[in-house]
Structure 1
Amino acid sequence: MASVQAILNGDVGPNGSTEAARVAEFGVKALAVLRKHISVDVHTHGGPQGIYSPAAPNGTLAAGMRAGSLAAVCLSEIPDEPLLGRNAAGVTGITRSPKPGELYRHHLERLAWVDEMVTHHGLQRALTAADLASAHAAGQPSLVGGVEGLDFMEGKLERLEEAHQRGIRSAQLVHYTPNDIGDFQMGVVTHEGLTELGVEVIRECHRLGMIIDVAHATEQTAKAAARVSTKPLLLSHTALAGSRAMASTRLVARCVSADHARAIAETGGAVGIWAIFPDLEKYVEGLKEMADIIGVDHVCVGTDQQVAPGALQDYAQWVNLIAAMLRGGFTPEEAGKIAGGNYMRIFRAAMG
């Protein structure tokens, strides 16, 4: 798909063609949305050369964000990454148990990777919602630090504060490795929801000003977190169970029921839709499927970028996603909420 910018510049399509004019019209509207609203991918690993890869820190992420007018990403490191593999069906899971201290050390290594990105490769670290607003006003792409699973804690609550001091602002409770916080989708249920430590973790996140992300958590765990939390929850990357628009059924067990999604929305939070769709038009259908259940005020974009097949592997296409939302029937105000406004509400509430 040609970029909206290319068509606006007259580089694509026959002059005066109806289709070129239509794409240009929605491109102009999309760029206006992105100027007005801070847009955020609420869950990403930064693409093929990102944090979930052996690549050294580089400028690819910032360049793509600039090209697509994406203001910010929540860049999530994965403490249990060394344990992960895929089975014959292509489904991710752990291949072995962690060695003592292994996941904590990997967590620290990835934090250092992010430090290098921020220092030398064109991204500004956002520690507060005000940081995101000032970076957006200056046209500077920024990142919010995230961690996908709290396995690095190894039961030590004080490591949450240490992570916060290192720039982490979004804490996903569980991933693929069994821990003593709660149960995760695609895993064996051992806790019947959230543990006492899980309750302590939520309270500590509230104290520190960190977003609580319940992606990967079982419905029982997520609903328990919703009962405990006094601030909006984020479920950063999933799709509605039974989605007709999704490209692959490989991760169907990671989708969420309508009741699961409603529990998150009722906290004032939001559910992020991943980009596992064949194209942007189908992705917009996926957004609509969730919005029809919980409303546009509770839906956001969490691409899980680098997971294939995916409709948004290149952030230069971000503006095209907004244009697709507008073509698909979302108003500019609704598109602005989904693209980042709903996340900003959650981020501000976490700080309060």
Structure 2
Amino acid sequence: MDLLARAQELLTAHPVVDGHNDLPWRLREQVRYDLERRDIAGDQSAHLHTDIPRLRAGGVGAQFWSVYVRSDLAGGDAVVAVLEQIDCVLRLVDRHPDALRLAVTADDMETARAEGRIASLMGAEGGHSIANSLGVLRMLYTLGVRYMTLTHNDTIDWADSATDEARHDGLTAFGEEVVREMNRLGMLVDLSHVSPGTMRAALRVSEAPVLFSHSSSRAVCDHVRNVPDDVLEQLPRNGGVAMATFVPQFILPAAAEWIVGANENMKAHGLHPLDQSPKAQAVQEAYAAEHPRPLADIGTVADHLDHMREVAGVDHLGLGGDYDGVVHLPEGLGDVSGYPRLFAELLRRGWSEDDLAKLAWRNAVRVLRDAGSVAAGLAGKRGPSTASIEDLDG
């Protein structure tokens, strides 16, 4: 049996849990959540990285759908936006009951796998979406959100971002209370996008395993969005999981250098660097025609996974592709159908099938189960926090 066939067979038994997919925001941008116009039951390759046939082809058995909110939205606007994102995921699940199953626990994930459906979980990307309210945090949990990324691209009132000025030396007192309340609920603390100081502070405070939903190795590619080795080394003690991402500028140094120039060009045209509108894509394509884009490939991703396994151990790795959150992806991983090719490369590099089963499925299921166990243990010890940012941070 060739390596690709072995990978496909393995993913049938141990499908991929993908930590981060921005399909809901893409549906907002493209069709204002009109699911008739982007029916993911069929081929949407002309518009999206993601649809059900390609999820099936990629061996994806569980997906954390990002209920992302742009970090220039704040307060009530951010809360409205995250609720609309949650509504989009719930409508997708209702619309495709034969293929998708809402999941809020590890048991739900296992049930979906047994039924041959894709477990659909939600992760909120950016702590600004709770508008400094632990009550809003609890409501997101009640609606099914099972991780929250503490920041997105901007530093917020209580946590420092990797891509903005650090103002808090990691977390403020209220930020620490957010982490404790997430532990009490059973919501995973996601440390992608945050500064190393925030990573270390959250690991110090958290009583439950943490998650990096879409971050790779900073030692392999020195990008601020990646995880330093000293943080990866803490995952065995914490029990958390780092899910390697596929974003070229995060994994390939030459691509990281290229994106700096491309972003400046976008700003010069009055566009946000993350804009994915047709106008923005045309500007990017014109820039790439004059400045050829360095290309990452499957081997680039595998290099990160090799290093992360060496530092953190195979029990603490996963995958978070960031599909539909970026325009460009590594060669061979251009949409959600590409996972078997990555697993074939890891087999070629000598990864055992047991190790790959952990990478694909077991680690992510375990970390959610462990977060639930911590919450169950805390249930009799403390109730919902009534603290406010004004109380704790003055």
TM-score (norm: length of structure 1): 0.81
Q: Cα deviations across residues 102-126 of structure 1 (Å, max 9, x unaligned)?
A: 1111111111111211111342111
Deviation at 1:48, TM superposition (A): 9.1
Which structure carries more helix by proportion? 2
2:224 corresponds to 1:253: yes
Match of 2:329 in 1: 310
Task: Give yes or no for contact 1:72–1:142 (8 Å, CA) kept in 2.
Answer: yes
Match of 1:66 in 2: 56
Deviation at 1:263, TM superposition (A): 2.8
Match of 1:195 in 2: 172
Match of 1:345 in 2: 366
2:160 corresponds to 1:170: no
In structure 2, what is the Cα distance between the partners aligned to 1:124 and 1:219? 35
Deviation at 1:38, TM superposition (A): 4.2
SS at match of 2:234: helix
Deviation at 1:337, TM superposition (A): 1.0
In structure 2, what is the Cα distance between the partners aligned to 1:53 and 1:198? 34
2:98 corresponds to 1:127: no
Give 5+ residue unaligned stretches, structure 2. 41-49, 249-295, 374-394
Task: Give yes or no for contact 1:29–1:332 (8 Å, CA) kept in 2.
Answer: no
In structure 2, what is the Cα distance between the partners aligned to 1:213 and 1:227? 14
In structure 2, what is the Cα distance between the partners aligned to 1:293 and 1:308? 30
In structure 1, what is the Cα distance between the partners aligned to 2:356 and 2:83? 36
Identity percentage over the alignment?
29
Q: Cα deviations across residues 174-212 of structure 1 (Å, max 9, x unaligned)?
A: 112332231110111111111111121112112211111
In structure 2, what is the Cα distance between the partners aligned to 1:345 and 1:160? 23
2:102 corresponds to 1:112: no
Task: Give yes or no for contact 1:38–1:341 (8 Å, CA) kept in 2.
Answer: no
In structure 1, what is the Cα distance between the partners aligned to 2:29 and 2:148? 17
2:312 corresponds to 1:300: no
In structure 1, what is the Cα distance between the partners aligned to 2:350 and 2:174? 44
SS at match of 1:350: helix
In structure 2, what is the Cα distance between the partners aligned to 1:157 and 1:138? 35
Match of 1:284 in 2: 302
In structure 2, what is the Cα distance between the partners aligned to 1:165 and 1:48? 21
2:65 corresponds to 1:75: yes
Task: Give yes or no for contact 1:80–1:177 (8 Å, CA) kept in 2.
Answer: no
Deviation at 1:348, TM superposition (A): 0.6
Match of 1:87 in 2: none
Q: Cα deviations across residues 307-348 of structure 1 (Å, max 9, x unaligned)?
A: 243233312222222222212221111111111211111011
Residue 234 of structure 1, aligned match among 211, 219, 230: 211
Task: Give yes or no for contact 1:223–1:263 (8 Å, CA) kept in 2.
Answer: no
Distance 1:52 1:36, change over 3 A: farther
In structure 2, what is the Cα distance between the partners aligned to 1:46 and 1:348? 25
In structure 1, what is the Cα distance between the partners aligned to 2:215 and 2:170? 19
Task: Give yes or no for contact 2:154–2:163 (8 Å, CA) kept in 1.
Answer: no
SS at match of 1:63: helix
SS at match of 2:151: coil
Q: Please, what is the CA RMSD of the aligned residues?
A: 2.1
2:342 corresponds to 1:321: yes
Q: Which amino acid in the other structure matches residue 284 of structure 1?
A: A
TM-score (norm: length of structure 2): 0.73
Give 5+ residue unaligned stretches, structure 1. 1-23, 84-97
In structure 2, what is the Cα distance between the partners aligned to 1:320 and 1:32? 12
Match of 1:210 in 2: 187
2:163 corresponds to 1:186: yes
Task: Give yes or no for contact 1:174–1:181 (8 Å, CA) kept in 2.
Answer: no
